[in-house]
């Protein structure tokens, strides 16, 4: 799955954001932030790592820190509540949950959990209301609502981490280091970066750095760098008047021929065709 690392910027006092959306779609991405989606009306398709579900009214999805996920409303209509928060706001700088594992990413409403999910919906809407009020000292009530939501999730939809369910899980330390590395790449993807250069910067072997990026993002160093460059190219093709050659150089490619070949391979269209379709 082609995904990008999102370094989210919050506009509020606290790194917590809640809003409602209709017909929401978003490309595959991942971040340290925790993301929750509650379906108020209709249906929406959501993928987290290799699992894909169509969620309906009353269902809840929780994407923990570091998991690749996307939203797809193609041929569907929905109204959702979407919450994001950075785990540092509750004392976990790298990930949440830290010492437990979600039983499932997708909590489908049934007779046993309906009351719990109704409480989560009410709390999410209350949290959104408090954030929007932006009153003095509102951070106390915002944190109280957030903790109550997380308590409901942990109490009802999580399990202890054991050797059997922890296999392949990225450690907190690995996730913290990987975020720094990927942020470094994201800020310099227009440069002539190599695996050895980045490994030198972080004082680790190229082999270890390559394995870490693969473990966290699911992509090799080169695939991740290329994916970031393609996202930059797509953006420039949409919003700028630069010619294809200029864009190819701005995105870190040494030749426009290589740029055209890679772009078409990943997008199914040449850069010129892609621009015409926008």
Quote the pLDDT of residue 150: 96
Query: Which domain CATH number covers 11?
Result: 2.60.120.280
Shared domain check, 208 and 130: no
Shared domain check, 198 and 66: no
Boundary of a domain, candidates 160, 189, 210: 160
Boundary of a domain, candidates 115, 131, 160: 160
Shared domain check, 155 and 237: no
List CB contacts of 80: < 8 A, sequence separation 6 or more: 20, 21, 22, 24, 37, 38, 39, 40, 44
How many angstroms separate the CA atoms of 7 and 52, rounded?
A: 24
How many angstroms separate the CA atoms of 24 and 44, rounded?
A: 8
Beta-strand relationship, 69-72 and 158-160: unpaired
Shared domain check, 180 and 61: no
**Token pair for residue 164?**
């059997």
Residue 88 forms part of a structural domain: yes
How many angstroms separate the CA atoms of 81 and 60, rounded?
A: 10
DSSP string, 133-178: H--TTTHHHHHHHHHHHHHHHHHHHEEE--TTT-TTPPPHHHHHHH
| Boundaries of domain holding 104 | 4-160
Residue 149 forms part of a structural domain: yes
Shared domain check, 14 and 102: yes
How many angstroms separate the CA atoms of 259 and 226, rounded?
A: 10
Shared domain check, 260 and 237: yes
Q: Helix, strand or coil for residue 97?
A: coil
Quote the pLDDT of residue 7: 72
Residue owning tokens 């450690």: 171
Residue 167 forms part of a structural domain: no
Quote the pLDDT of residue 31: 84
Shared domain check, 186 and 116: no
Count how many domains the chain has: 2
Residue 166 forms part of a structural domain: no
pLDDT along the chain (278 residues), means of 10: 70 91 85 94 90 95 88 91 95 82 94 97 96 91 96 94 60 78 88 94 94 80 88 90 94 93 89 89
Shared domain check, 248 and 133: no
Boundary of a domain, candidates 105, 134, 160: 160
Within 13 Å of residue 115, how many CA atoms lie on the same side as its CB?
1
Residue 101 forms part of a structural domain: yes
Shared domain check, 181 and 150: no
Shared domain check, 106 and 242: no
Shared domain check, 194 and 101: no
Quote the pLDDT of residue 253: 93
Shared domain check, 188 and 128: no
How many angstroms separate the CA atoms of 58 and 55, rounded?
A: 8
Residue 188 forms part of a structural domain: yes
Residue owning tokens 């109204």: 79
Residue 247 forms part of a structural domain: yes
Quote the pLDDT of residue 169: 60
Nearest to 187 by CA among 31, 2, 7, 3: 7
Residue 58 forms part of a structural domain: yes
List CB contacts of 50: < 8 A, sequence separation 6 or more: none
Please state the three-class secondary structure of 200-257 as a single string.
Answer: HHCCCCHHHHHHHHHHHHCCCHHHHHHHHHHHHHHHHHHHCCCCHHHHHHHCCCCCHH
Number of helical H runs and strand E runs in the chain = 9, 11
How many angstroms separate the CA atoms of 57 and 41, rounded?
A: 5
Query: Which domain CATH number covers 209?
Result: 1.10.10.60
List CB contacts of 31: < 8 A, sequence separation 6 or more: 5, 6, 7, 8, 65, 66
pTM over 0.75, yes/no: no
């Amino acid at each position: 799955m082609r995904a990008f690392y999102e370094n989210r910027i919050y506009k509020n006092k606290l790194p917590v954001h809640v809003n409602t959306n209709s017909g929401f779609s978003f490309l595959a991405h991942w971040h340290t932030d925790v993301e929750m989606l509650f379906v108020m009306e209709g249906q929406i398709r959501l993928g987290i790592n290799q699992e894909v579900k169509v969620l309906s009214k009353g269902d809840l999805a929780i994407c923990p820190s570091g998991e690749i996920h996307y939203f797809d409303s193609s041929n569907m209509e929905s109204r959702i509540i979407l919450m994001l928060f950075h785990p540092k706001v509750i004392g976990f700088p790298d990930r949440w949950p830290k010492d437990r594992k979600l039983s499932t990413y997708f909590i489908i409403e049934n007779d046993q959990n309906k009351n719990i999910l109704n409480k989560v919906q009410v709390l999410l809407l209350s949290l959104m209301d408090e954030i929007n009020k932006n009153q003095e000292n509102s951070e106390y009530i915002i944190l109280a609502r957030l903790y109550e939501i997380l308590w409901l999730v942990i109490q009802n939809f999580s399990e202890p981490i054991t050797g059997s369910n922890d296999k392949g899980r990225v450690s907190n330390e690995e996730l913290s280091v990987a975020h720094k590395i990927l942020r470094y790449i994201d800020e310099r993807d227009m440069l002539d970066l190599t695996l050895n250069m980045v490994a030198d910067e972080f004082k680790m072997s190229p082999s270890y750095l390559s394995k870490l990026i693969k473990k966290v993002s699911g992509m090799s160093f080169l695939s991740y760098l290329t994916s970031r460059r393609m996202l930059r190219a797509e953006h420039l093709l949409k919003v700028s008047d630069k010619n294809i050659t200029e864009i190819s150089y701005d995105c870190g490619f040494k030749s426009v021929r290589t740029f055209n070949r890679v772009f078409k391979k990943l997008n199914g269209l040449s850069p010129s065709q892609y621009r015409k379709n926008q």
